[in-house]
Amino acid sequence: MAEITDTPEVPEPGRSSEDKKPRRGGKRGKKGPLARLALFYRQIVAELRKVVWPTRHQLTTYTIVVIIFVLIVIGLVFVIDYGFGEAVKFVFG
């Protein structure tokens, strides 16, 4: 009768089963800290150039909407807090 053993390891995609060395990160792993920092900065600038910035009108509209929403939430919390305060005064004297 044949013994059942653990399943064989399946190599990662793109790697052969003979290649047992851990991956080190390619070219990025060989750069010094200042070069990596410069790369990081360049990537930040590249991503910020992709951003679609709002116009002044859109920014004003969004700001007004946020201020109105915050005032509504403040009012709602005030009413609930006041109601609970009155309820506690009624129950405990």
Q: State the Cα–Cα distance between residues 86 and 93, nearest whole angstrom.
A: 10
Q: In this predicted structure, what is the pLDDT of residue 59?
A: 97
Which residue in the block uniquely carries the two structure tokens 């990081």? 40
Q: State the Cα–Cα distance between residues 79 and 91, nearest whole angstrom.
A: 18
Q: State the Cα–Cα distance between residues 62 and 69, nearest whole angstrom.
A: 11
How confident is the prediction along the chain (93 residues), in pLDDT tens digits per residue? 556 666 655 666 665 555 566 666 565 557 788 999 999 999 999 999 999 999 999 999 999 999 999 999 999 999 999 999 999 999 998
